[in-house]
Structure 1
Amino acid sequence: MTNSREQDFDFVVVGAGNAGAVVAGNLARSPARPRVLLIELGGDNAEAKLRIPSERFVNPYVNPNIVLGYKTTPQKYLGDHILDYLRGTGLGGSSIANFLAYIRGTASDYDRWADLVGDDSWKWENVVERYKEIENLHFDDDHDADGYVKLKEGVHGFKGPVDLTLPSRSQWPKGLDIVMKAALDHGWPLNPDQNSGNIIGMASVTTTVHKGWRVTSASAYLSDPPSNLVIWTNIAATKVLLDHTAGNKPRATGVLLADGREIRARKEVILSLGVVDTPKILMLSGIGPRDELRRLGIPVVVHSPRIGKDMIDHPYLVLLYGSKTELGTRVELQQNKELVSTARAQWLRDRTGQDAQLNTINLIGFLKLDSSRVSYDELDKLDSKTKAYIKKPDVPQYEFYTQGYIPGDWDTAANGPQCLGMAVMLMNPQSRGSVKLASKDPNAMPLIDPNYMGHPYDRQTMVNAVKEAMMFARSKGLQPHVKGKVLAPESEDDEVVWTWVKKELLSILHGVGTVMMGPKDDNTAPTDTNFRVRGVDGLRVIDLSVCPTITNNHTQATAYLVGHMGWKQLAAEYNLESPKGSPRTASRQHHL
């Protein structure tokens, strides 16, 4: 990537993930052409193999160089288990390492966001217009007779920089029809358009895949960068530089790099490091909870007690059942080594074939619990506003993902030719966690405590969601196809299920909230709705750490939105105007 001897820039953006790439790319391409520096800890992620769509679920495991191997603290409510908390690194951030799902959330999420922060720009009616500016949706409507996949008019974008694909019914692996029909017979509703503003129901999933490529924030916003955008990779920023003589408040003037260089920002420093590393760098800079900083010997510049607090994350787990029938991926495409090798060669040659589409088409349902099947009194114990929100008709209590596939260690002789995989993810978790410094050493791993299952509502809802998945596995529509449990609780007894949940729970890595934005009259909120860090001039946070609530989705889409909203705010304040032309350039033809 481009290097530069000049150390002064108009804007310095730290972090090239979903949000940071959006901010830096749009700033640099604005007609005002400010000089922008984008600093990224990881590499350029230029290898083609990092963007193979078929490896959507294993990318960070077969390519460990694209993730930071963080771990949680021992989780109190999970028998003190320590979980992986991987964070994407390098250009594209977590968009190079995630599971590719692009799901916006539901209208009530954003209306609630607007209410929590006192800013109507976050209402769904406004947010949907911003999403349309981000997206370039590819969908071939085959007008299937059952109406399984159909776009709602007026709510989608077709000219934005981020290429998305929504598979039509005719593109589904044949077995998905079996699963969808079984789900509808089971009583779960159909959702023909999951990104329409109402997320409830079973749906075909939109993914960040196009023309055989994994689409990342880097491919969408950083390809062929203009000369005024300088990108430094494999460089760590360890501290925000603060000038205490500029006025009543300290002013961010740049960043300190791990190699000792001081980089200056004439206008602003923008942190886009995510839910873990953004609060980390703020606290290393003396911005955070006074007592915690003093305990580590860090001089306190701004006492901001909630930095690193209020962490919210979606936990999930996986159930596996043997299947007598192909319910998704064609078995021979994963079991025949010769076919697998031939497919890889084909993808490397022209981005077509099995590796361009395998595992990219599946079903996700965002669902409410059925009171006729399970009881959930913990919902009624929540405060009145939270309870009313969760009871809204478009707000789910859990996510149910399903696909037929072949795990690497699948025993076909014992379990059948294919696996029915089901993932259950908790929506609207009430537990709150934290990110703290372990040391003032910038290289020390932070203390990440999502506090999974810390709230009774979360425990009861997750147990019930697992029971719903087990009921579905033995439903009338699936019974002819399911062979038996491979990874699931032994029974649907609440205590048996809870014991199993504690052992099997995982993080889906959707953390938000550690530098949470708040309304004008809440001085304890670390940031305001313009993304400014309270108590400091010239410093913003534009990433998922500012979210005041966790959206009901896979938060990749939310991260793109936050980046875009942050860019729009900067453009308005500095009269930068919107970029002319799309930042998407050669990303369709080649990788970065």
Structure 2
Amino acid sequence: MGSHSRDSFDFIVVGSGPAGCALAASLAKSAKRPNVLLLEAGSRNDDKTLRVSGKRWVTMMEPNLNWGYKTTPQEHCSGRQIDYSRGKGLGGSSAINFGVYTVGARDDYDQWAAEVADDTFAWTNIHSRFKALETFGKIATPEQQKYGAPKAADHGDKGPLGIGYAAEWESDLPLILDAFEEAGVERNMDHNSGNPIGMGLFINSVRDGVRTTAADLVKDAPENLVIVVDSPVQRVIFEGKKAVGVETNGKQYFASKDVIISAGSLDSPKILMHSGIGPAAELTKFNIPVIQDIPAIGQGLKDHPFVTFIVTRKPETNDRNAFFKSPEAMEAAMKQWEQDGTGPWARHGNQLGVGWFKSDKITSSEEFKALPAEVQDFLNRETIPHYELATGLPLHMQVPDLFPDFSYVCLAVFLMNQQSRGEVRLQSSNPDDPLLFDPHFLEHPYDRRACIEMYRHLYEVVEHPAFAKDTIATVMGPASKSDEDILQFWKDHMTSSWHMTGTVKMGKEGEEDAAVDNGFRVFGVQGLRVADMSVVPVMTNNHTQATAYVTGATCGDVLIKEYGLDQ
């Protein structure tokens, strides 16, 4: 427990991912210096070699850092169980994700504000919180600045999260970006400006070759922030309808003000359900006494499914074989990285190209026209994309056997604004058992149509002479370009991008699909809030770690204001 022998705090935050760390740090550093307890189910996770920028593609394979979740068999994905990895340990999923930092579209946040009738969540306010979180690193070399040129006004320079572009790029990245431009793909100089439309460069949650995680927000924490690891929370302790603390492995901790659950879209609903908060019929089935019946808890699960397209390339376009086929080169590179964060491990797989796009083929489809008018309106807004295209995924690091030759390009397409809605539900009365996760991937006709059309756009780009001139063969793609074969390819190969959102949705009192209000308070009880991706009512058009950070920071602002902690 560190220097605290007492088990009572002002606030308890459960879960140390981006949301939990941003929230705990923000509360602890407020002027009143309240006592904050941050509980983490996993370990301290402070081995620096887990932060090698070029190895961020394989950290998720460390079994002690990953809960190892899987979905239920997916009816519309050839009956497959799909990987549903979640981070375990200080930093949560930010410690095992692929280290990309994208904030989404300004229309996402304006929509959130509109849905909950509160400008706290509008882009202008969210944008200033994003800036406060980051120290942004620009592109170092002048010849690379034609691919990315962010405006200083859109970024922060004093925040705890070091983000930016890789200092060293693989030689084929400019070739690919130039080919995309020749193929008529518009360019975007900064996808974190509030408008992600167009092709550019991923901004990375990496600084000087070292990956940034949520643990960076609490590493110089003041003494009034106590972090306790190896403490999975089984339930919230209630007195009547007031949350007064939590229980972890038989130990109890108490909060005089609030308990805030920040365990993510897969685990926050679990803690709530085992505490008697959730769909009454479900809880009763597992003999859990009902404190508050909230049918929405566990419903509304959203995600970004993606699939790849892989082609081998002329070996002279890159130097991957020389590096990845030489254990000596990789070992020497590790020594160099340990010295100063530079070298091949800060170059290979460190800077990827990415873009978000709209499609007339999607919006003119029957499936689009069948969507509710307000959904069509949202999808037609200026900054809202229909899909994402990324290039350069170093897939051989995860499945080396697939690649006898590392001169290849792996492109990925991600469906944005999926219309299928999934759910998470109890599978037992044991709070240490995970919930059942059923995202209902590809169930909605719109999703299937959009997946076909966006894959066709990918074909157009890779078949353009500017790109095709360096391509040798296709390693992985659909059997043909027919709708049926493209869709079958999705069904057989689609995976989650681990952006689970919306299972404890924020909304207005009385809305049947909502579980918390605009102050993050769980309906019908006192002293209990949820702040993480589970409450976000809009499936943001990004890789969601940035939204998780800003959700925690926003909840911090709300609590600081409510309790007058800044005086």
Same fold (TM over 0.5): yes
Q: 2:166 touches 2:347 (CA, 8 Å); kept in 1?
A: no
Change over 3 Å in CA distance of 1:223–1:145 after alignment to 2: closer
Matches within 5 A, 1:453-492: 453-492=442-481
Partner of 1:252: 243
Q: 2:166 touches 2:346 (CA, 8 Å); kept in 1?
A: no
For residues 253-293 of structure 1, the C-alpha deviation after alignment (integer angstroms, 9 at most, x for no partner) is 000112x1221111110100000110000000000001111
Q: 2:266 touches 2:437 (CA, 8 Å); kept in 1?
A: yes
Please report how far the alpha carbon of residue 35 of structure 1 lies from its aligned counterpart in structure 2 after TM superposition: 1.2
For residues 540-559 of structure 1, the C-alpha deviation after alignment (integer angstroms, 9 at most, x for no partner) is 10100001011000001100
Change over 3 Å in CA distance of 1:134–1:71 after alignment to 2: same
Within 2, Cα distance between the matches of 1:524 and 1:370? 31
Within 2, Cα distance between the matches of 1:106 and 1:555? 12
Partner of 2:195: 198
2:70 matches 1:92: no
Paired amino acid for 2:248: L
Partner of 2:38: 38
SS state of the match for residue 407, structure 1?
helix
Partner of 1:26: 26
Partner of 1:47: 47
Within 1, Cα distance between the matches of 2:539 and 2:146? 30
Change over 3 Å in CA distance of 1:326–1:194 after alignment to 2: farther
Deviating more after overlay: 350-359 vs 139-148: 139-148
Q: 2:296 touches 2:512 (CA, 8 Å); kept in 1?
A: no
2:473 matches 1:511: no
Change over 3 Å in CA distance of 1:140–1:148 after alignment to 2: closer
2:321 matches 1:331: yes
For residues 38-62 of structure 1, the C-alpha deviation after alignment (integer angstroms, 9 at most, x for no partner) is 110000001112111111211111x
Unaligned runs of 5+ in 1: 245-249, 579-592
Paired amino acid for 2:245: G
Within 2, Cα distance between the matches of 1:135 and 1:227? 23
Within 2, Cα distance between the matches of 1:379 and 1:6? 57
Within 2, Cα distance between the matches of 1:308 and 1:521? 17
Specify which of 204, 225, 228 is matched with residue 224 of structure 2: 228
Within 2, Cα distance between the matches of 1:302 and 1:79? 38
Within 1, Cα distance between the matches of 2:49 and 2:87? 16
Within 2, Cα distance between the matches of 1:122 and 1:7? 34
Specify which of 539, 542, 549 is matched with residue 538 of structure 2: 549
Paired amino acid for 2:375: T
Change over 3 Å in CA distance of 1:415–1:393 after alignment to 2: farther
Within 1, Cα distance between the matches of 2:432 and 2:404? 45
Q: 2:170 touches 2:348 (CA, 8 Å); kept in 1?
A: no
Partner of 2:386: 397
Q: 2:87 touches 2:93 (CA, 8 Å); kept in 1?
A: yes
Paired amino acid for 2:547: T
Partner of 1:589: none
Paired amino acid for 1:11: F
Q: 1:415 touches 1:483 (CA, 8 Å); kept in 2?
A: no
2:556 matches 1:560: no
Please report how far the alpha carbon of residue 159 of structure 1 lies from its aligned counterpart in structure 2 after TM superposition: 1.1
Partner of 2:176: 179
For residues 442-482 of structure 1, the C-alpha deviation after alignment (integer angstroms, 9 at most, x for no partner) is 12121000111110000111122222222322211111101
TM-score by length of 2: 0.96
Q: 1:323 touches 1:416 (CA, 8 Å); kept in 2?
A: no
Q: 1:13 touches 1:270 (CA, 8 Å); kept in 2?
A: yes
Partner of 1:315: 305
Change over 3 Å in CA distance of 1:302–1:353 after alignment to 2: same
SS state of the match for residue 492, structure 1?
coil
Count of matched residue pairs: 566
Q: 2:148 touches 2:189 (CA, 8 Å); kept in 1?
A: yes
Within 1, Cα distance between the matches of 2:395 and 2:472? 15
Q: 1:402 touches 1:420 (CA, 8 Å); kept in 2?
A: yes
Paired amino acid for 2:19: A
SS state of the match for residue 472, structure 1?
helix
Please report how far the alpha carbon of residue 140 of structure 1 lies from its aligned counterpart in structure 2 after TM superposition: 3.8
For residues 284-306 of structure 1, the C-alpha deviation after alignment (integer angstroms, 9 at most, x for no partner) is 00000011111111111101010
Partner of 2:333: 343
TM-score by length of 1: 0.92
Paired amino acid for 1:186: A
Please report how far the alpha carbon of residue 227 of structure 1 lies from its aligned counterpart in structure 2 after TM superposition: 1.8
Q: 2:307 touches 2:490 (CA, 8 Å); kept in 1?
A: yes
When the two chains are superposed, the root-mean-square deviation of aligned CA atoms in Å is 2.1
Unaligned runs of 5+ in 2: none
Change over 3 Å in CA distance of 1:469–1:374 after alignment to 2: farther
SS state of the match for residue 131, structure 1?
helix
Q: 2:12 touches 2:255 (CA, 8 Å); kept in 1?
A: yes
Please report how far the alpha carbon of residue 376 of structure 1 lies from its aligned counterpart in structure 2 after TM superposition: 3.1
Paired amino acid for 1:173: E
Matches within 5 A, 1:396-435: 396-403=385-392, 405=394, 407-408=396-397, 418-435=407-424
SS state of the match for residue 394, structure 1?
coil
Within 2, Cα distance between the matches of 1:360 and 1:210? 11
Within 2, Cα distance between the matches of 1:485 and 1:330? 18
SS state of the match for residue 126, structure 1?
helix
SS state of the match for residue 392, structure 2?
strand
SS state of the match for residue 274, structure 1?
coil
SS state of the match for residue 125, structure 1?
helix
Q: 1:108 touches 1:124 (CA, 8 Å); kept in 2?
A: yes
Matches within 5 A, 1:212-291: 212-219=209-216, 221-244=217-240, 250-258=241-249, 260-291=250-281
Specify which of 425, 434, 459 is matched with residue 445 of structure 1: 434
Paired amino acid for 1:280: K
Within 2, Cα distance between the matches of 1:143 and 1:113? 38
Within 2, Cα distance between the matches of 1:550 and 1:577? 31
Please report how far the alpha carbon of residue 67 of structure 1 lies from its aligned counterpart in structure 2 after TM superposition: 0.8
Please report how far the alpha carbon of residue 519 of structure 1 lies from its aligned counterpart in structure 2 after TM superposition: 2.4
Partner of 2:295: 305
Within 1, Cα distance between the matches of 2:324 and 2:8? 52
Within 2, Cα distance between the matches of 1:364 and 1:116? 29
Paired amino acid for 2:215: A
Change over 3 Å in CA distance of 1:292–1:411 after alignment to 2: closer
Q: 1:43 touches 1:234 (CA, 8 Å); kept in 2?
A: yes
Percent identity between the aligned chains? 37
For residues 87-108 of structure 1, the C-alpha deviation after alignment (integer angstroms, 9 at most, x for no partner) is 1010000000001110010111
Within 2, Cα distance between the matches of 1:146 and 1:222? 33
Within 2, Cα distance between the matches of 1:261 and 1:456? 48
For residues 183-214 of structure 1, the C-alpha deviation after alignment (integer angstroms, 9 at most, x for no partner) is 11222110011111110010111101112211
Q: 2:53 touches 2:350 (CA, 8 Å); kept in 1?
A: yes
Please report how far the alpha carbon of residue 567 of structure 1 lies from its aligned counterpart in structure 2 after TM superposition: 0.6
Q: 2:169 touches 2:350 (CA, 8 Å); kept in 1?
A: no
Q: 1:329 touches 1:359 (CA, 8 Å); kept in 2?
A: no
Please report how far the alpha carbon of residue 173 of structure 1 lies from its aligned counterpart in structure 2 after TM superposition: 2.7
Within 2, Cα distance between the matches of 1:45 and 1:348? 18
SS state of the match for residue 236, structure 1?
coil
Paired amino acid for 2:437: I
Within 1, Cα distance between the matches of 2:263 and 2:429? 18
Deviating more after overlay: 515-524 vs 100-109: 515-524
